[in-house]
Every structure is written in C-alpha cells, then in structure tokens.
Amino acid sequence: MTKKKQGKRNSKRGRRNYSGKSGGSRRGKPAPNTTGKDLVRGLQQVLEKEGIVKNINTFSDLVIHDHTTHRIITDPAQSAKHFNASGKPIKLEVYVPKRSLAGCNEARLVLRTMSESLTADMIVDMFCKNNHWIINPQETVDTLIGLMQDEIINRDIVDRILNYEHPVWSQLDWEEDTALEADFVNAWIEHPNMSNDSEDALKVFNEDKPNFLRRKAGSVEITVTNAYGEEKTFKYKLAIEQAQLDKKKGRSRYFLGDARGGASPFRSHYMRLHGFRGDTQNIRGKATNLNYIAVGRPKFLQEEIENSRNTVKLGDFAEGQLERGEDMMDLLLRGETISNNL
C-alpha cells in the first residue's frame, strides 16, 4: 500500500482578498489611488466626447495642486476626524472662510498663546467692554467653553462675565433645571443594560454625577455705538446651560453649553441621555453666525492721531504754505502765527 503524496497545504486558505471574497490563492488588488489630476483627465475626456470641448489640449495650462494624502473630506457641517497609526484621534486645525473679525476658535488660540501674560481683569474686559464680543453673546460663551477646556479660566471669571459685567448676559437670570433628576432616572430605567430600579438610578445621580443644572434663556436686545458714532440695535434669543463640575488639578470648572433650539447639551453630551439634541444645529465658530460692527483703533493710537492733528510742526506748515505759493513773511504780517511745538 503506497502512501499518497500529500500536496503542499495552501497557507492562504480562508483569507479574504480585497474584494471581500474568500478563497484559496486568489488575491485581489487594492483599488488604485485616484488623484486630482486623474479626475481632471477624466473630466477632459468626457467634455471632449460630449462635444463641449473640441480639443482637450486647451486644458494644458490648468495647474492641479494635488495633496491627496493630506486631504480629509467630510460632509457639510460635520467636523473632520482623522486618526494616527495607533488609532488615536488627531486634533485638527479649523479652517474657515476668511473673515474680518475673529470668532471663538481664533480668539481661543490667541488667548492660549498669550496665557502667561493675561490677568483676570484683562479677560473680563475683553468680553465685556469690546463691541465685537458684546454684540456676539453666544460667541462669547463659545469662547469661554474653549478657554475652560484649555485651563485658562476658572469659575470666577465666568461668573463675572455672565452674571455681572457682560451687557447682554447680565440681563438674564439663572433658573434651576428641576427636570434633570427625572430625566436621568427615566433614561436609566429604559436603558437595556441598566437595572429597572429607580433607587439605583437615584443613588448614581446623587453620588456620582453633577446634579445641579441651571440655565439662562430669553430674548434680549442691546444698542451699541460703532467707531463712527452710529448706533445699532441687536436682538437675540439666547439659551445656555451651566453645571458645576468637580475641581480638576485644583482649578474650579463649569460645564457650559449652547442650549438654543430646545437642546440640553449637558444631558446629551455629558450625561449621554438620548433625545435632548434640540431641533437646530448650533455650529461653534460659524462665520455666518457672527454679528459685525465697525471697529475703531486702539485708544492709545487714536489719542496719538488726534494729538498729531492738533499740533502743526514748523517745517510741515512752511512746506505746505510754500507749495500753495504763499509767502511766509506775508502770513506773519497779516497776523498769522506759527507754532513749533513738537
């Protein structure tokens, strides 16, 4: 009895190729990388085939800047997400359409850079005495949210701005959200992986979670004067939430969130409860959400300009008169005076 010769075992059995089909030695190939130039060449051929363009060589001067490996494409109004080789998320810079004034993302970056030289009064004055931040109260809160996350401000600064010194936010009073406990208990009972015991939910709510939530909400208007002395009135429908968090590294913290449109960001983002995202999408830092007003020069620079206008140097005065063909001696004889104050 002869022993049947056993063939070499296929080491690739059961593996899946790139097409998703299982099989022995069949190996699929990854789809080729499509660059921007490839897309344009395809467009050229389609245009020529349809008779829209007679000669695709007319595209020869078209320059394609293709950076496919560094491009992240996302849906409109969605934040871009990217991950490194180990699967950890990469923090991305936010690129927005060009604007004349900064939004919350730009202001947050600047203040983070200047943090070593900032004082509490400087930060409060920036948001409460500057027209741009006065007429953009929601943008003010969005910036405070970022600064709180960056560990640049604490609860005291937030209280000064929102409760006392900001001309818009100080018009609204805080009201306690008394429905938070019931919403948490209901979500707990309805969750498939949690017990149906409300006592367990109450224990977690009272012992492990921040359980005091309050909000400012209402309609407000304010009138400000721009750099040209013109008055302009702005009207708002505002809503924010605030919850006191435990200290982190000795720093007092708040949870702050945009609660417009019936949203409750504390419930949805912090407590992970479903059904509280509201009926509007509030995109932080969106340029079209900003109110704009003519902004003047810094006070010290404006004073210098005014002083320069009121003081005429002898050389400048003489040169101006001579250019107009007037004689300096005739001016003096007529009683004109010349000042040499610098």
In order, the DSSP letters of 221-274 are EEEEE-TTS-EEEEEEEEEEEEEEEEEETTEEEEEEEE-GGG--HIIIIIS--S
CA distance 257 to 144: 10
Q: Which two tokens stand for residue 220?
A: 């407000």
> In this structure, what DSSP letter does residue 287 have?
G
> What pLDDT score does 110 carry?
92
> What pLDDT score does 209 carry?
85
Encoded amino acid at 256, one letter: L
The answer for residues whose C-beta is within 8 angstroms of residue 22's C-beta and 6 or more apart is 14, 15, 16
Report, as ranges of residue numbers, the positions in the chain whose pLDDT lies below 70. 1-40, 51-79, 93-99, 281, 310-328, 331, 334-342
Please state whether beta strands 213-225 and 231-248 pair in parallel, antiparallel, or not at all (unpaired): antiparallel
> What pLDDT score does 33 carry?
62
CA distance 169 to 144: 13
The CA-based angle 321-324-326, given to 5 degrees, is: 60
Q: Locate tokens 């900064």: which residue?
A: 102
CA distance 165 to 121: 11
Residue 91 CA, distance from chain mean position: 13
The answer for residues whose C-beta is within 8 angstroms of residue 158's C-beta and 6 or more apart is 144, 148, 242, 254, 256
> What pLDDT score does 23 carry?
45
Residues in the chain, overall count: 342
> What pLDDT score does 5 carry?
53
> What pLDDT score does 24 carry?
45
CA distance 286 to 290: 7
> What pLDDT score does 19 carry?
42
The CA-based angle 108-112-118, given to 5 degrees, is: 110
pLDDT, one tens digit per residue, over 228-264 is: 889 999 999 999 999 988 877 778 889 999 999 888 9
CA distance 216 to 218: 7
> What pLDDT score does 197 carry?
84
- From the CB of residue 279, how many other CB atoms can be counted at a distance below 10 Å? 8
> In this structure, what DSSP letter does residue 222 have?
E
> What pLDDT score does 219 carry?
95
